[in-house]
Chains A and B, each alone.
Chain A
Amino acid sequence: MGGSVIDRDKDKNVKPLDFRTAADIRSGLHLRDIVVDYTMGGRTVHAVRGVDLDVAPGEVVGLVGESGCGKSTLAKVICGLVEPVAGTAVYDDTPITPLKFRSRPMELRRIQMVFQNPYASLNPRRTVRSQIEEARAISPVPVPSVEELLASVELDASDADKLPHQFSGGQRQRIAIARAMATTPTLLIGDEPIASLDASLQAKTAILMKKAAARSDASLLFISHDLSIVRLIATRIVVMNKGQVVETGPTEEIWNHPREEYTKNLLDAIPVPDGLGHLPAYHGEN
């Protein structure tokens, strides 16, 4: 699976991180020593504790970990929605600045995000067309029409003039992906985009997102707690636990030969369709 993104590159044997040295004008995403604290009722919660993360142009990275490990916070840092207390975040040589009153700098608008809750990520009072058109308007390069974008996420052209409440959760998530793609992002972030979809749609949506990113040559940072889905699309997997990166490596290596105990537990938590299931607490006893 992991080979499909590498296929697009001239050198098939090059490791994902080395994309930066490829003949590409973009330098990708670089996070160094990112620390994020939240203060809740006088108590400080360390959400992210010194994370380094690189996403090369065109790379598909899976960021996995259980709930509360800091993956979404990291995504928010990349989008400028959360200001880190320490560390540097740079995208394509532009420092990522936190979003305040002003509008987001042009260069950083190339980073777009698809959110977890498809019921909240579309404006309920505006048609699908107007929402996608608005996204198209910020693209610096020519974009396919709204109808073509909808077709790329397997929706009808006639769906363009409907309101979000006329769609199911899975359809809404695909509209959200189409809207993100309308901006022709160079980095697409999926923040648990499949978590609220039913099992049959999860893999389908994840693959759709990967295809969409690949079509516009964008990098994809796919955040999920579900390693089995991430494995289907990512070339490299980053495992986070308690605000820190515990393991990172090519997908197949993580999947077949995890080094860290935490990663092994995550893999063991994936239910298998034999009806018995695996639970981390019973590792080795099944």
Chain B
Amino acid sequence: MSENTITATARGKQPVATSPKGDVPDKVVRKMTKRRFSVPAALRTPLAIIGLIVLALWVLVIIFAPLLEPHDPLDQLGTRLSAPSGDYWFGTDTLGRDIFSRVIAASRVSIPSSIVLVIFSSVIGSLIGAMAGYFGGWIDEAFMRVTDLVFAFPSTILAMVISAALGPSIQNAIIAVVLVSWPTYARLVRSLVLGLRNSEFVIVGRLLGRSSFASLFKDILPNILPHIFVLMFVDLGDCLLTLSGLSFLGLGATPPMPEWGQMVSEGVTRMTSWWLAFFPGLAIFTVVIAENFVGDAVRDWFDRSYISGNQEGR
């Protein structure tokens, strides 16, 4: 077949979105497709840009925290409950520690903790969901009933119970949040695996000699990873909030470790010293809202690239 005939065939059969211009040669169409995916339109919205900038700033803060802290976050400077001033930008707390330094130091606890717990819950949830969806039968029944059991409780209350039982510490709070947040991943991954496990390309893999485990990990999971990543992104803000909530209740980070939720709880009892709760609260707010903006944008980007035919036939 000549090259022209192949181009004509491609034009006739390819979905509209992958070769939008019928009369444009194949190579040009490919180039256009590549360019579109390198700069996703969904990430170019004002909210997404704001979110990305805020997150980038927080990443810089985490990296350069020791350089940015004007005082030692644990150092009791003597001036208790002083309002924000030139010396103490965010004021000082009940023990006379610099709140600005503590907010910055806490970013190294709160943000990485939420990332770690999202990774753990997604890995655990995905593995359980994948096994349930792929193998079906009693494995599915057993895993899904456990999932239902976790879903039956309000997640924050359950996290509080687990955290209280394990004892207050940031590690235990992470474990508690992981234990209540994995079922979301399990449900998602199970449904995706159910949709893919009888796909012809998966069957071809089996005919080529893959065992069922190899088929699950080599053929199915790589195809659902983008869905998992999107959920992880959207979930980050929620997990940070739950984790901060546990610390707020005294079930997470223990003093003197600076943690935003715990700093807010210190301030709640002294409403006249508004800066105690305001600045750590603002830190939580900026991170969560930025993560939500970026999470939404990533989801939109993902939806569009799937709808546009990049993944048709699945």
**Which of A18-26, A36-44, A96-104, A260-268 has 4 or more CB atoms under 8 Å from chain B?**
A96-104
A115 to B222, CA, bound (A): 22
Q: Which residues of the partner chain B approach A165 to less than 8 Å between Cβ atoms?
A: 18, 309-313
Q: Is B208 an interface residue (CB 8 A)?
A: yes
Residue pairs across A and B with CB atoms within 8 Å: the count is 99
A188 to B250, CA, bound (A): 66
Q: Please, which residue of chain A has its CB at the minimum distance from the CB of B211?
A: A103
CB interface residues, B 259-314, toward A, < 8 Å: 309-314
How would residues 174 to 203 of chain B score, 1 for a CB under 8 Å from any chain A CB and 0 otherwise?
A: 000000000000000000000000011101
Q: How far is the CB of A2 from chain B (nearest CB, A)?
A: 26
User: Do B201 and A168 have beta carbons less than 8 Å apart?
Assistant: no
Contact of A156 with B6 at beta-carbon distance under 8 Å, contacts A117-B313, A123-B223 already known: yes
Residue of A with least CB distance to B225: A125
5 smallest CB-CB distances across A and B, nearest first, come from: A119-B313, A168-B13, A121-B200, A103-B211, A115-B200
Whether B201 pairs with A122 at a CB distance below 8 angstroms is yes
User: Is A201 in contact with B209, judged by CB distance below 8 angstroms?
Assistant: no
Residues of chain B in range 11-60 having any CB-CB distance to chain A below 8 Å: 11-14, 18, 30, 33
Task: List 13 contacting pairs A-B, 8 Å CB cutoff, sorted by A.
Answer: A100-B212, A102-B211, A103-B210, A113-B204, A121-B200, A155-B6, A167-B10, A168-B11, A171-B6, A171-B10, A183-B208, A198-B12, A198-B13
Kindly state whether residue B214 has any CB partner on chain A within 8 Å: yes
Q: A103 to B214, Cβ gap below 8 A?
A: yes
Q: Who on chain A is nearest to B205 by CB?
A: A123
- Tell me if B's interface is mostly helix, strand, loop or mixed: helix
Interface size class of A (residues with CB under 8 A): 35 or more
Bound form: Cα–Cα A179–B314 in Å: 19
The answer to whether B209 and A124 touch across the interface, beta carbons within 8 angstroms, is no
- Contact among B11, B12, B212, B219 for A123, CB-based, below 8 A: B219
Query: Are B208 and A135 in contact, CB atoms less than 8 angstroms apart?
Result: yes
**Given contact pairs A115-B200, A120-B314, A121-B201, A168 touches B14 in the complex (Cβ within 8 A):** yes
Q: Which listed residue (A104, A116, A171) contacts B207, Cβ 8 A?
A: A104
Quote the shortest CB–CB distance from A70 to chain B (angstroms): 18
- Are A112 and B207 in contact, CB atoms less than 8 angstroms apart? yes
A69 within 8 A of partner (CB)? no
Residues of A within 8 A of B309 (CB): 165
**Which of chain B's residues have a CB closer than 8 A to the CB of A154?**
1, 6
A79→B203 CA distance, assembly (Å): 10
* Chain A residue at smallest Cβ distance from B310: A165
Binding site for B on A (CB under 8 A): 79, 81, 99-104, 106, 109, 111-113, 115-126, 134-135, 138, 154-156, 164-171, 176, 179, 183, 198, 201
Query: Is there an interface contact between A166 and B206, defined as CB atoms closer than 8 Å?
Result: no
Please name all residues of chain B whose beta carbon is closer than 8 Å to the beta carbon of A169 when the two chains form the complex.
13
- B residues within 8 A CB of A111? 207
Distance of B209 from chain A, by nearest CB (Å): 5
Q: Which of the listed residues B6, B11, B209, B310 has the most CB atoms from chain A within 10 Å of its own CB? A: B209
Compute how far the CA of A121 lies from the CA of B223 in the bound complex, rounded to whole angstroms. 14
A170-B9 in contact given A125-B222, A138-B208 (Cβ < 8 Å): yes
Q: Which residues of A contact B199 (CB under 8 A)?
A: 120
Residue-by-residue, is B223-263 near A (CB-CB < 8 Å gives 1, otherwise 0)? 10000000000000000000000000000000000000000
CB distance from B252 to the nearest CB of A (A): 39
CB distance from B195 to the nearest CB of A (A): 11
Which one, A101, A170, A179, A183, contacts B211 given CB within 8 A? A101
Asked if A168 contacts B209 (CB within 8 A), the reply is: no
Residue of B nearest to A119 (CB): B313
What residues of B have a CB within 8 angstroms of the CB of A121 in the complex? 200-201, 204
Beyond A103-B210, A103-B214, A117-B313, whether A124 also contacts B223 by CB under 8 A is: yes
- Whether B212 and A101, one on each chain, are in contact in the complex, defined by CB atoms closer than 8 angstroms, is yes
